[in-house]
Amino acid sequence: MGIETSDDAGIYLLNDSTALVQTVDFFSPMTDDPYLFGQIAAANALSDVYAMGGTPLTALNIVCYASCIAPEVMGEILRGGSDKATEANVAIIGGHTVDNADIKYGLAVTGIVSPAAIISNRGARPGDLLILTKPLGSGIIATATKAAMAEATHTAAAFLLMATLNKVAAEAFAPFAVKGGTDITGFGLLGHSVELAQGSEVEIILRSSSIPLLPGVLGYAAMGLVPAGAYHNRAHFGRYVDLAASVDEVWSDVLYDPQTSGGLLFALDEQKAKAALAALQSRGVQAAVVGRCVAGAVGRVTVL
């Protein structure tokens, strides 16, 4: 499995019972705290393996770093990544560093998955409910934070969520044999939902009233504190999205908001979805049913 259906990671079959899952992700800091940045970058990179139904095993550090900056800062970034990898039971076994004016950090991650347990953009079916495991709005709050306009409690909540692994959520889903899903990262909820709808040849209907948000997000979006990536997402995916008249531009900005280390969006039939939601919530995951798949306008997303 490669790039054909815009899945979150590549899959390489080793034998009838085991396949490799491989992914890579790295980016610039969204916080001045280097240790926290390292945690967030690592959690974000590991998420793609969980999104494919896999278990991450090893990782390689990828670092862009200016030689004029104190090496202790890079040490804190790497410590954050290492601690998050340890939490995920992942061994960081090497990496590569490039002298670069802009700091960037992330991981190349290798995991394994049973071929029978692969989760992909192609696996959702009409009638499935969609469960989202993290509230939206991290990009908007990061933008408000950079503008020094975010409340400290809102910033702290967003960064804590970004640093939270999707490991617990993935483990809660494991008994339910999920086939269709993705995680919500740079393309926002609408972009990734479009990819899921197109890969699975279904229509996805999202209910804005059911979608959980981080505290303060709608207020910051109303102030125009929206990252450029949200507008890029709207330009690229908007032709596949139908918004009800009740969904105003502020809500639209939130739905296109690029997420860092966002939640899983998994599709399950109604009976399994209710049990999975209970399992997630019992583990402290902020999960909610946000929509469903239907045999309607294939490849499109409708927001009510």
Q: How confident is the model at residue 118 (pLDDT cuts 50, 70, 90)?
A: very high
CATH number at residue 204: 3.90.650.10
Please give the tally of structural domains in the chain: 2
For 66, half-sphere exposure in the C-beta direction (CA atoms, 13 angstrom radius) is: 7
> Do the domain assignments include residue 222?
yes
Phi, psi of 64, rounded to the nearest 5 degrees: -110, 125
Q: Which of 90, 117, 144 is the last residue of a domain?
A: 117
Q: Which residues pair with 132 in a beta bridge?
A: 265, 288
User: Are 79 and 150 in a shared domain?
Assistant: no
User: According to the model, what pLDDT value does residue 304 have?
Assistant: 96
Dump strand ranges (E) for 254-295.
264-268, 288-294
239-261 mean pLDDT: 96
User: Are 191 and 248 in a shared domain?
Assistant: yes
Q: How confident is the model at residue 6 (pLDDT cuts 50, 70, 90)?
A: confident
User: Are 107 and 134 in a shared domain?
Assistant: no
Domain containing 80 equals: 10-117
Instruction: Render pLDDT for 266-283 as a digit per residue (tens, 0 to 9).
Output: 999 999 999 999 999 999
User: According to the model, what pLDDT value does residue 229 have?
Assistant: 96
Phi, psi of 58, rounded to the nearest 5 degrees: -135, 160
> Do the domain assignments include residue 123?
no
Phi, psi of 74, rounded to the nearest 5 degrees: -65, -35
Q: Which of 93, 117, 141 is the last residue of a domain?
A: 117
> Do the domain assignments include residue 294?
yes
User: According to the model, what pLDDT value does residue 3 have?
Assistant: 84
User: According to the model, what pLDDT value does residue 272 have?
Assistant: 95
Q: Which of 95, 117, 139 is the last residue of a domain?
A: 117
User: Are 174 and 267 in a shared domain?
Assistant: yes
Q: How confident is the model at residue 86 (pLDDT cuts 50, 70, 90)?
A: very high
For residue 84, how far is the Cα from the chain centroid? 16
User: Are 203 and 233 in a shared domain?
Assistant: yes
Which residues have a Cβ under 8 Å from the Cβ of 71 and sit 6 or more positions away?
none
- DSSP β-ladder status, 180-183 and 264-268: antiparallel
User: Are 45 and 137 in a shared domain?
Assistant: no
Instruction: Render pLDDT for 20-62 as a digit per residue (tens, 0 to 9).
Output: 999 999 999 999 999 999 999 999 999 999 999 999 999 999 9
